[in-house]
Chains A and B, each alone.
Chain A
Amino acid sequence: MATMGSTYDLARFGAERPSFSPRQSDMLLVMGTIAKKMGPVLKQVYIQMAEPRWVIAVGACASSGGIFDTYSVLQGIDEVVPVDVYVPGCPPRPEAILDGVMRLQDIVRSESVRRRETEEYKALLESYGIHKHG
């Protein structure tokens, strides 16, 4: 929330419109702890995004489960969705989140346009149980 406020201002990096519909967005920021109950919901949101899509795992809990090594917490969201950038911290400072977004912009700039069609990418999605069409 503070990242979108005036002092840190995520909007100047191009994230002006936090869209509340996954179908129209490019980047998914997953913040906070994801419990096992929330895992299928997160996967559903990811499936609803249209290609090209990127995921940033913000925070220690989203990256790896954080300090909560318990029976009810997903130990990292990369158990359910493929992740592009991990931003550590508990909570991460707004500058760290901005840095993560900028790294993602580097990835986007340098990525091949045909990446989403390659066999490797398809295999990655299959390994998560996300099928390309539906």
Chain B
Amino acid sequence: MKDMSELRPKLTTNHLVFEDNDPQDELVTLNLGPTHPATHGVFQNILQVDGERIVSGISTIGYIHRAFEKIAEHRPYYQITPLTDRLNYCSSPINNMGWHMTVEKLLGIEIPKRVQYMRVIIMELSRITDHIICNGILGVDTGAFSGFLYVMQEREFIYEIFEEICGARLTTNIGRIGGFERDFNEIAFAKVKEFIKRFPSVLNEFEDLFTRNRIFIDRTSGVAAVDPETALSYSWSGPILRATGVDYDVRANEPYSSYEDFDFDIPVGENGDVYDRYMVRNEEMRQSMRIIEQALEKIEKEPKGLFHADVPEFYLPPKEMVYNNMEALIYHFKIVMGEIDTPKTEVYHAVEGGNGELGFYLISDGGRSPYRLHFRRPSFINYQMYAPMSSGMLLSDAIINMSSLNVIAGELDA
């Protein structure tokens, strides 16, 4: 076990510009460029290295900046959901649900319990996919490719569940403001139950490969350790913050979508190093399975077939009614053309995304598009500590550190 204090980086500054610290030109400037196998997405780090050790670095992002916030000002509320998909595209249902909950908070819509439990199932399934990718890729970056292949199969199964529910695998656009567009059919429930039965054994197999593996422990334990005060001052959130010892989870602090009805633990680490982050994510996957099991039991007790709130002003009526019923036709017209008045106020709603606190700050001016929509993106805020943190580290440790931060380029740039 390495001596932790020696490897804990000294963060005295958040100054990221290269000073003239190399008068004899001995250091090498290395461009860990936007297209690089180790970076999971397009972001760039220009590093000054002294042999294998990094002296300092500058991060450059914005290579996939798509101006979501500007687009959102020109789209009606229901058309912004596909945009939110593409934020953290590894766990897009969480983004969708978070957006819907924000708008429902603004409009004051009450969601029935059954719909909330269905949302919880979807969100926990997508949290599992996000953590599968993160831990799988962490394994690949340390050199072990086979673990990734095994758990990707499980991700394919979750894709099948999403396909059964909404038709798409990755960018799901699940749900509507007010609930879901259709009920989960029998096949979807059966697949979720089958997933719960078979995933624990796959996860155990994955853990057998890594958790007590001597090489993995040497690569990850003690690497990039962070203390809680520094993590909080950099506004970290999510599994990486919990790995440092702070038990901040939006699901427990401000429960949304009836998370207060569920019984789950929040795994917390000790040192904040890469190994702890890996373990926290694994344990969170197990807790997600617990939540899904409880949700399935709770759904049994709710009235069958209820999949949306009774809000005809915001939830499109079914097409048969639109063609036959005058009221439904008028509501349909008003919703699509945006004639419904929305309150002129502002709302901030946060959900626990795969990487941390995903927040939506929405200011409405009464029209059909938001006046201003801002996404509080966890990957963006978590990543700013990367360059200060990597000074003093070995290059290979910096790569492992980056993959354990789970930076998704879509969420980084938005």
Contacts and interface: CB of A to CB of B under 8 A. Distances in A.
A38 B153 contact: no
A91 B159 contact: no
Contact of A73 (B35, B67, B159): B67
Contact of A70 (B42, B63, B67, B82): B67
5 contacts: A2-B152, A7-B156, A35-B63, A35-B64, A38-B63
A41 B36 CA distance: 11
Given A6-B149, A67-B82, A37 B169 contact: no
By DSSP majority rule, is chain B's interface helix, strand, loop, or mixed? loop
A30 B1 CA distance: 42
B82 A6 contact: no
B37 A33 contact: no
A116 to B, nearest CB: 24
Interface string A67-93: 110111100000000000000001101
A13 interface: no
A82 B71 CA distance: 29
B152 A41 contact: no
A52 to B, nearest CB: 21
B149 A91 contact: no
Contacts of A34: 64
Nearest to A61: B66
Given A38-B42, A67-B82, A32 B64 contact: yes
B33 interface: yes
A29 B267 CA distance: 39
Contacts, number: 63
A91 B152 CA distance: 18
Given A41-B35, A72-B65, A91-B170, A2 B70 contact: no
Contacts of A90: 171
A45 interface: yes
B71 A68 contact: yes
A70 B66 contact: yes
Interface in A1-45: 1-2, 5-7, 20, 32-35, 37-38, 41-42, 45
Contacts of A42: 35
A33 B71 CA distance: 15
By DSSP majority rule, is chain A's interface helix, strand, loop, or mixed? loop
A45 B35 contact: yes
Interface residues of B, number: 27
Interface residues of A, number: 24
Nearest to B413: A35
Nearest to B35: A45
Interface in B113-167: 133, 149, 152-153, 155-156, 159
Contacts of B169: 2, 91, 93
Interface string B226-257: 00000000000000000000000000000000
B216 to A, nearest CB: 21
Contacts of B133: 1
A70 B171 contact: no
Nearest to B67: A70
A41 B67 contact: no
Interface in B36-74: 36-37, 42, 62-67, 70-71
Contact of A38 (B64, B67, B70, B170): B64
Most central of A6, A38, A71 by chain B CB within 10 Å: A38
B34 interface: yes
B66 A5 contact: no
Sorted from nearest, which 6 A-B pairs have the closest CB atoms? A20-B37, A70-B67, A5-B152, A38-B63, A68-B66, A72-B65
Nearest to B70: A70
Contacts of A70: 66-67, 70-71
